[in-house]
Amino acid sequence: DADVTQTPRNRITKTGKRIMLECSQTKGHDRMYWYRQDPGLGLQLIYYSFDVKDINKGEISDGYSVSRQAQAKFSLSLESAIPNQTALYFCATRGQGINETQYFGPGTRLLVL
Protein backbone atom coordinates (compact mmCIF):
# COMPACT_ATOMS: atom_id res chain seq x y z
CA ASP A 1 0.00 0.00 0.00
CA ALA A 2 2.93 2.38 0.53
CA ASP A 3 3.40 2.42 -3.25
CA VAL A 4 0.09 4.25 -3.60
CA THR A 5 -0.47 7.18 -1.26
CA GLN A 6 -3.48 9.39 -0.77
CA THR A 7 -3.82 12.78 0.90
CA PRO A 8 -5.58 13.77 3.01
CA ARG A 9 -6.57 10.58 4.85
CA ASN A 10 -9.54 12.28 6.46
CA ARG A 11 -11.36 15.46 5.58
CA ILE A 12 -14.41 17.30 6.85
CA THR A 13 -15.83 20.02 4.65
CA LYS A 14 -18.99 22.02 4.23
CA THR A 15 -21.58 21.95 1.48
CA GLY A 16 -20.53 24.09 -1.48
CA LYS A 17 -16.82 24.00 -0.75
CA ARG A 18 -14.28 22.90 -3.33
CA ILE A 19 -12.07 20.06 -2.29
CA MET A 20 -9.23 18.15 -3.91
CA LEU A 21 -8.07 14.65 -3.08
CA GLU A 22 -4.57 13.73 -4.16
CA CYS A 23 -3.10 10.39 -5.23
CA SER A 24 0.54 9.59 -5.88
CA GLN A 25 2.16 6.31 -6.87
CA THR A 26 5.70 5.02 -7.11
CA LYS A 27 4.83 1.82 -8.95
CA GLY A 28 5.53 3.29 -12.36
CA HIS A 29 2.05 2.34 -13.51
CA ASP A 30 0.40 4.24 -16.31
CA ARG A 31 -3.20 3.45 -15.42
CA MET A 32 -4.85 5.18 -12.48
CA TYR A 33 -8.38 5.06 -11.10
CA TRP A 34 -10.60 6.84 -8.61
CA TYR A 35 -13.31 4.87 -6.80
CA ARG A 36 -15.93 5.70 -4.26
CA GLN A 37 -17.06 3.28 -1.55
CA ASP A 38 -20.31 3.62 0.37
CA PRO A 39 -21.36 1.34 3.25
CA GLY A 40 -22.86 -1.90 1.97
CA LEU A 41 -21.94 -1.19 -1.63
CA GLY A 42 -19.09 -2.25 -3.82
CA LEU A 43 -16.51 0.11 -5.21
CA GLN A 44 -17.90 2.42 -7.88
CA LEU A 45 -15.65 3.87 -10.55
CA ILE A 46 -15.60 7.67 -10.79
CA TYR A 47 -12.85 8.38 -13.33
CA TYR A 48 -9.88 6.58 -14.83
CA SER A 49 -6.83 7.51 -16.84
CA PHE A 50 -4.60 5.35 -19.02
CA ASP A 51 -1.88 7.97 -19.35
CA VAL A 52 -1.25 11.66 -18.81
CA LYS A 53 -3.36 12.79 -21.77
CA ASP A 54 -6.15 10.29 -21.30
CA ILE A 55 -9.14 10.88 -19.00
CA ASN A 56 -12.29 8.75 -19.00
CA LYS A 57 -15.53 8.95 -17.08
CA GLY A 58 -16.59 6.05 -14.95
CA GLU A 59 -20.01 5.06 -13.69
CA ILE A 60 -20.56 7.99 -11.31
CA SER A 61 -18.57 10.96 -12.64
CA ASP A 62 -21.25 13.63 -12.10
CA GLY A 63 -20.11 16.19 -9.53
CA TYR A 64 -16.46 15.19 -9.84
CA SER A 65 -13.50 16.16 -12.02
CA VAL A 66 -9.96 14.84 -12.26
CA SER A 67 -6.53 15.95 -13.31
CA ARG A 68 -3.62 13.74 -14.34
CA GLN A 69 -0.71 16.06 -13.68
CA ALA A 70 1.97 13.46 -14.29
CA GLN A 71 2.22 9.71 -14.67
CA ALA A 72 2.56 9.40 -10.90
CA LYS A 73 -0.19 11.82 -9.85
CA PHE A 74 -3.95 11.73 -10.28
CA SER A 75 -6.15 14.13 -8.34
CA LEU A 76 -9.91 14.11 -7.79
CA SER A 77 -11.87 17.33 -7.26
CA LEU A 78 -15.30 18.04 -5.93
CA GLU A 79 -16.08 21.49 -7.31
CA SER A 80 -19.00 22.09 -4.98
CA ALA A 81 -19.28 19.39 -2.35
CA ILE A 82 -22.68 18.05 -1.32
CA PRO A 83 -23.59 15.79 1.64
CA ASN A 84 -24.27 12.72 -0.51
CA GLN A 85 -20.62 12.80 -1.57
CA THR A 86 -19.75 11.73 1.95
CA ALA A 87 -17.91 8.46 1.35
CA LEU A 88 -14.60 6.66 1.34
CA TYR A 89 -12.51 7.43 -1.76
CA PHE A 90 -9.84 5.13 -3.14
CA CYS A 91 -7.20 5.63 -5.75
CA ALA A 92 -5.85 2.59 -7.60
CA THR A 93 -3.16 1.90 -10.18
CA ARG A 94 -2.49 -0.77 -12.74
CA GLY A 95 0.41 -1.41 -15.06
CA GLN A 96 0.34 -2.38 -18.71
CA GLY A 97 0.55 -5.92 -19.91
CA ILE A 98 -1.18 -9.08 -18.85
CA ASN A 99 -1.18 -8.34 -15.13
CA GLU A 100 -4.60 -6.81 -14.68
CA THR A 101 -4.50 -6.41 -10.92
CA GLN A 102 -5.31 -2.99 -9.54
CA TYR A 103 -3.41 -1.82 -6.46
CA PHE A 104 -5.19 0.45 -4.05
CA GLY A 105 -4.18 3.33 -1.83
CA PRO A 106 -5.24 3.56 1.83
CA GLY A 107 -8.28 5.72 1.10
CA THR A 108 -9.58 9.17 2.02
CA ARG A 109 -12.55 9.43 4.33
CA LEU A 110 -14.61 12.48 3.34
CA LEU A 111 -17.45 13.98 5.34
CA VAL A 112 -19.51 16.76 3.77
CA LEU A 113 -21.64 18.65 6.29
Partner 1 sequence: GESVGLHLPTLSVQEGDNSIINCAYSNSASDYFIWYKQESGKGPQFIIDIRSNMDKRQGQRVTVLLNKTVKHLSLQIAATQPGDSAVYFCAEKRGSTLGRLYFGRGTQLTVWP
**Which parts of this chain interact with partner 1 (CB under 8 A)?**
1, 4, 31, 40-45, 48, 50, 58, 90, 94, 100-107
CB of 16 vs partner 1, minimal distance in Å: 28
Inter-residue contact 92 to 103 (CB < 8 Å): yes
CB atoms within 10 A of CB 35: 25
Q: Torsion-angle region of residue 10: left (phi > 0), alpha (psi -120 to 50) or beta?
A: beta
CB of 48 vs partner 1, minimal distance in Å: 7
Query: Nearer to partner 1 by C-beta: 44 or 65?
Result: 44
